[in-house]
Amino acid sequence: MTERGQQVADAAAVDLRISDGVVVERATQAAGGLEPREGERIIEADGLVAMTGLVDLHTHLREPGFEQSETVLTGTRAAAAGGFTSVFAMANTLPVQDTAGVVEQVQALGDAAGYATVRPIGAVTEDLAGERLSEIGAMAESRAAVRVFSDDGKCVHDALLMRRALEYVKTFDGVIAQHAQDPRLTEGAQMNEGALSSELGLKGWPAVAEESIIARDVLLAEHVGARLHICHLSTAGSVEVIRWAKARGVQVTAEVTPHHLILTEELARTYDARFKVNPPLRREDDVRALRAAVAEGVIDIIATDHAPHPVEAKDCEWDAAAFGMVGLESALPIALLTLVQEGHASWAELESLLSQRPAEIGRLSGHPTAIEAGQPADLVLVDPTGTSTFSTDRLRGRSANSPFLGMELPGRVAYTVRRGFLTVDDGELVAPETVAASARSAGGAR
C-alpha cells in the first residue's frame, strides 16, 4: 500500500509504503516519492493531513452489562470513524472491570472486533464501591496488562484508599485516573452551581467539589511519588491547582473533554438532557481557561469521555436523565474548531494532545511515535478543508446522545489505518467481517 499524504510537522508531501502493519518506506515527493509496486493499493491522500492514530484515554464501551447503550464492537466502530486506533475502556461496566477475568474479556472482545486496540482500565475499588481496593496486582499481571486504574463515574473519596492505590500502581509504573468529585458537596447535583442553577431551580454542583479533590490528590501523589491523572478537568480553578502541582514537580497529568472546551452551562436553559454531563458544563471563563491551559501545556491531553446512553435515559426530564455524551466521532472536529482554528494549538500539537501524550500516560505499547519507516502503521488521514453539518449519520456507535448534532464542524476523517489495515476507507467504515479478518491476520504483527 502506498500513501501520499502530508507530513504534519513540515507539511511536505510524502509517500509511505505500508506492509505487514508497519511503515516500511517513507520518501518526500520532492525527492521523487515512491514507485507503486504490483498489487499494492494506492491511496491518494493529496491535501489530507496525516497524524499518528488517535488514542482515547477515556472511553465508556459499556460491555459487559450495558449493551443497550454500546458494545465493544459498536464503540470501537465509533472510535475508528473518529480517527482513533486505540481506546482505553473505563471500568464502570457490569460486572465492573475489577478482576483479571473481566479485563481479559473486554480486551479479547476488542481484539476480535479489530476496529481499535482496546486497553481495559481497571477499577480502583471493588465494584466501584469505594471501600476495598480491587485486585490491582492481578489485573496488572493479567494478559490485559492493565496500567490505568479508575473508579470513573465515582470519585475515590477515601484518602487512605487513594494513598494505597497510588502506592500500589507505583510498583509497576501504573497510574490512577481520578474522577474528581466530592460526593458530599455534590449530593443530588444537576448542573454547575451559580446564578443560573438558582434561576432554573436545579441543584448546583460547585467548582470546589472538583478542585478540592484535585488539590488533595496532587499532594497525595507527591507524598507517594506516584503518577496521578485527572479526568475531565472542567473549571478554571482546577487549572490553577494543576499548574501549581506541576511547578512543584508532582507527577500529575490532566485531560479535558472536547465538550468542556466549547459548551457552557447556558445550554441547561433548554432542559435538553443531551447537555447533561458529569462534570457539568461550566461558564464561559472556565472554557477560556481550559483552552488557555491546553495552549500552555498545563492540560496534557484531550479525552472524549464518550458516554453512550439509550434514548430513554436522555429523552426525559433533566433531573431524571443520565449524565454523559457520546464523543468519539466529534472529538477531532471540536479540537480543530476550538484549538487549531483559534490559534491555541498547531496540528503537531493536536497530534500530541490526541495521540502521543495519551499513549504515553496509558503506557500503550506498540503505538507509533511518528509516521516514519520502522514504525507501526497506526495513522489517520484527515480532510482539513471545509465544514459539514454534524448529524446522526456521522455517529457509528449504538447511542446518539451527542450535544453537537446540527453544528457546522470542520475536519472529516478520510482514512483510518490500524496495524496496517484500513478501518475507515474514503470516509466510510470498513465492514466488520473485513476488519475482523484483517485484525486476525495482523494478530502476530507486533
Ligand X SMILES: NC(=O)N[C@@H](CC(=O)O)C(=O)O
> Is residue 111 a known part of a binding site?
no
**Shortest distance (Å) from residue 66 CB to ligand X:** 9
283, 264 contact by CB (below 8 A): yes
Q: Which stretch binds Zn ion (CB under 5 A): 138-146, 175-183, 193-201, 308-316?
A: 175-183
**Shortest distance (Å) from residue 155 CB to Zn ion:** 8
Q: Which is nearer to ligand X, 49 or 78 (CB)?
A: 78
Which option in ligand X, Zn ion, none does residue 318 bind, with CB closer than 5 to 8 A by kind?
none
**Shortest distance (Å) from residue 277 CB to ligand X:** 4
Residues that bind ligand X (CB under 6 A): 60, 92, 152-153, 179, 277-278, 305, 307, 323-324
> Is residue 62 a known part of a binding site?
yes
Q: How far apart are the C-alpha atoms of 273 and 40, rounded to whole Å?
A: 48
How far from the centroid of its chain's Cα atoms is residue 345's Cα? 18
Residue 179 within binding range of Zn ion, rule CB under 5 A: yes
Which has the closest alpha carbon to 57: 363, 437, 434? 363
**Shortest distance (Å) from residue 309 CB to ligand X:** 7
Q: Which is nearer to ligand X, 48 or 281 (CB)?
A: 281
Q: Which is nearer to ligand X, 92 or 338 (CB)?
A: 92
Give yes or no for a cis peptide into 258 (omega within 30° of 0).
no
Q: Which of 305, 315, 383, 426 is catalytic?
A: 305
**Shortest distance (Å) from residue 323 CB to ligand X:** 3
> Is residue 92 a known part of a binding site?
yes
Q: Which three cell numbers stand for residue 419?
A: 496495524
Q: Which three cell numbers stand for residue 33?
A: 516519492
281, 236 contact by CB (below 8 A): no
Which option in ligand X, Zn ion, none does residue 92 bind, with CB closer than 5 to 8 A by kind?
ligand X
How far from the centroid of its chain's Cα atoms is residue 301's Cα? 9
> Is residue 58 a known part of a binding site?
yes
Respond yes or no: is residue 305 known to be catalytic.
Answer: yes
What does each C-alpha distance from 85 to 254, 330, 367 come to in angstroms? 21, 15, 9
> Is residue 232 a known part of a binding site?
yes
**Shortest distance (Å) from residue 320 CB to ligand X:** 15
Which option in ligand X, Zn ion, none does residue 324 bind, with CB closer than 5 to 8 A by kind?
ligand X
60, 233 contact by CB (below 8 A): no
Q: Which is nearer to ligand X, 184 or 247 (CB)?
A: 184
Which has the closest alpha carbon to 116: 254, 304, 259? 304
Q: From the DSSP assignment, how many helices (H) and strands (E) are in the chain? A: 13, 19
Q: Which is nearer to ligand X, 177 or 414 (CB)?
A: 177
Q: Which of 3, 193, 211, 305 touches Zn ion by CB under 5 A? A: 305
Q: Establish how many alpha carbons lie within 13 A of residue 198's alpha carbon, considering only the half-sphere containing its beta carbon.
A: 3
Q: How far apart are the C-alpha atoms of 356 and 370, rounded to whole Å?
A: 9
DSSP state of 315: S
Which option in Zn ion, ligand X, none does residue 172 bind, with CB closer than 5 to 8 A by kind?
none
299, 254 contact by CB (below 8 A): yes
**At which residue does the C-alpha cell 455517529 appear?**
395
> Is residue 223 a known part of a binding site?
no
Q: Which residues pair with 178 in a beta bridge?
A: 230
Q: Which stretch binds Zn ion (CB under 5 A): 12-20, 102-110, 149-157, 246-254?
A: 149-157
What does each C-alpha distance from 118 to 56, 77, 86, 365, 432 come to in angstroms? 10, 12, 6, 12, 16
Q: Which stretch binds Zn ion (CB under 5 A): 63-71, 179-187, 242-250, 410-418?
A: 179-187
Query: Which residues contribute to the site for Zn ion (CB under 5 A)?
Result: 152, 179, 305
Catalytic residues, by residue number, are 305
Q: Write out the binding residues for Zn(2+).
A: 58, 60, 152, 179, 232, 305
